[in-house]
């Protein structure tokens, strides 16, 4: 039986994503009604700049008083797409206190304060949904929270930032340097005027924290995620990767330890084999690999950002939350029962590609190999090229702990025959 009283929605923010949410709610109102089982009505839109022209957005819905909007007792759902920590956090908790469920795209806030927000939602008997916070239109949160709820997820490995993937893809395909590829990304609108959040890995780290928490049923905060940007990746690194049959991607990697007693979450550039599906993810697309005991390997691929893709995820959450309102129920909340510790990066075990500048004379390779052996790091392959008294030495290791590799590199720097460490990069995806 169709409910006749409309569910009332308040929207916080009306930029690229908010405007698209408004458009879809207006043009697909009849379809949304049928899917939800009740009419849905947008009754207010809070913005900071009310005089800004917003095509297709009803002027009578615009307000600058976001607090008053979320305090309205007739609001059923608040959609938050303003981003940042404050005032988003205060507005969301106020919405909970007044009985409204919340749909958010705010990865930074959820990575920092997700546990407190989940607790507040549970306290007031409402929902907190955030599919759009992780990978735009790509469904990841709901499959992890619901579809794989009966399985054991062991690893989440993926490309979760379109800007960095575009830059690295251009460096790989055209031989461009980092600065040149960044300029192209900026000109095409993929990179912000200040790209720091993307290229230094902050954006991907927030998403990794959210994914790790859901996948492993434990609390992982942004501070728990090891983060390394991709600004130091060079054309020479790509040349080395190609010689190994690899390419380079900025990866978010969340893993459960082999003994099941801890988890890790990290973001950094890595070489991956060209045979791995993630190697073929081009331009500004995102893709995430999930490895689970029963399901095996699953891959989710698609546009990870942009107004329409992100709005699609927001509307998907809005439909789910509104259905729960009609049924007078709530969906799944936080699952953190495992309470697993988050290991440090020093405990992470992986392969490494190390490029050294060395003196071109007899005995250098033996000295380098001895240092690796003394620190318990096994060498897989070595490649040496020399000219005019100088040489480059490329060492690829077997799997080793990050702490052991770091100690090895520090010892190598002390050798008279080692002029410098040109690059160090992890090798993943095997």
Which active-site residues does the annotation give? 207
The answer to whether 244 touches 429, Cβ cutoff 8 Å, is: no
The closest of 315, 410, 393 to 355, measured between CA atoms, is 393
- Kindly list the distances between the CA atom of residue 172 and the CA atoms of 62, 218, 247, 426, in Å, as whole numbers in the listed order: 46, 37, 7, 17
| Residue 175: CB atoms within 10 Å | 12
Q: What CA–CA distance (Å, rounded) separates 125 from 3?
A: 21
Give the DSSP letter of residue 124.
T
Q: Judging by DSSP bridges, how do beta strands 7-12 and 40-46 pair with one another?
A: parallel
Helices and strands (H, E) in the chain, number of each type:
15, 17
Q: What CA–CA distance (Å, rounded) separates 288 from 377?
A: 30
Q: What CA–CA distance (Å, rounded) separates 283 from 16?
A: 21
The answer to whether 263 touches 256, Cβ cutoff 8 Å, is: yes
The answer to whether 405 touches 352, Cβ cutoff 8 Å, is: yes
| Residue 328: CB atoms within 10 Å | 7
Token pair of 191 as six digits: 């990179």
How many Cα neighbours within 13 Å face the side chain of 430? Answer: 14
The answer to whether 137 touches 285, Cβ cutoff 8 Å, is: no
The answer to whether 124 touches 97, Cβ cutoff 8 Å, is: yes
Phi (first) and psi of residue 79, to 5 degrees: -105, 120
The answer to whether 185 touches 231, Cβ cutoff 8 Å, is: no
Q: Report the C-alpha dihedral over residues 167, 172, 272, 291, rounded to 10 degrees.
A: 50
């Amino acid at each position: 039986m169709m409910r006749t009283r409309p569910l009332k929605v308040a929207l916080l923010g009306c930029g690229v994503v908010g405007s698209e949410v408004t458009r879809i709610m207006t043009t697909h109102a009849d379809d949304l009604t049928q899917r939800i089982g009740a009419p849905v009505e947008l009754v207010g839109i809070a913005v900071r700049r009310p005089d800004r022209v917003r095509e297709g957005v009803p002027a009578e819905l615009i307000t600058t008083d976001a607090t008053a909007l979320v305090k309205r007792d007739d609001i059923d759902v608040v959609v938050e797409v303003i981003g940042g920590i404050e005032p988003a956090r205060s507005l969301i908790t106020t919405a909970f206190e007044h009985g409204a469920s919340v749909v958010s795209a705010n990865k930074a806030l959820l990575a920092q304060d997700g546990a407190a927000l989940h607790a507040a939602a549970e306290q007031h008997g409402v929902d907190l949904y955030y599919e759009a916070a992780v990978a735009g239109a790509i469904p990841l949160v709901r499959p992890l929270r619901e579809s794989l709820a009966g399985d054991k997820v062991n690893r989440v490995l993926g490309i979760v930032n379109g800007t960095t993937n575009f830059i690295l893809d251009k460096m790989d395909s055209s031989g461009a340097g980092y600065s040149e590829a960044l300029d192209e990304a900026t000109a095409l609108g993929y990179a912000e005027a200040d790209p720091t959040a993307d290229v230094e890995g902050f954006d991907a780290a927030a998403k990794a924290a959210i994914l790790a928490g859901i996948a492993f049923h434990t609390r992982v905060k942004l501070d728990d995620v090891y983060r390394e940007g991709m600004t130091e990746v060079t054309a020479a690194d790509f040349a080395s990767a190609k010689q190994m049959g690899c390419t380079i991607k900025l990866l978010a990697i969340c893993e459960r330890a082999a003994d099941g007693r801890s988890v890790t979450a990290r973001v950094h550039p890595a070489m991956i084999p060209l045979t791995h599906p993630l190697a073929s993810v081009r331009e500004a697309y995102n893709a995430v690999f999930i490895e689970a005991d029963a399901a095996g390997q699953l891959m989710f691929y698609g546009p990870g950002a942009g107004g329409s893709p992100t709005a699609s995820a927001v509307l998907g959450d809005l439909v789910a939350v509104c259905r729960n309102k009609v049924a007078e129920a709530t969906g799944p909340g936080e699952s953190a029962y495992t309470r697993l510790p988050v290991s440090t990066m020093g405990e992470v075990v992986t392969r490494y590609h190390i490029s050294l500048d060395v003196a071109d004379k007899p005995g250098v390779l033996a000295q380098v190999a001895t240092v690796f052996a003394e620190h318990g790091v096994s060498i897989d392959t070595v490649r040496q090229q020399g000219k005019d008294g100088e040489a480059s030495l490329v060492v690829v290791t077997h799997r080793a702990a990050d702490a052991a590799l770091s100690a090895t590199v520090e010892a190598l720097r002390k050798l008279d025959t080692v002029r410098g460490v040109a690059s160090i990069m992890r090798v993943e995806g095997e």
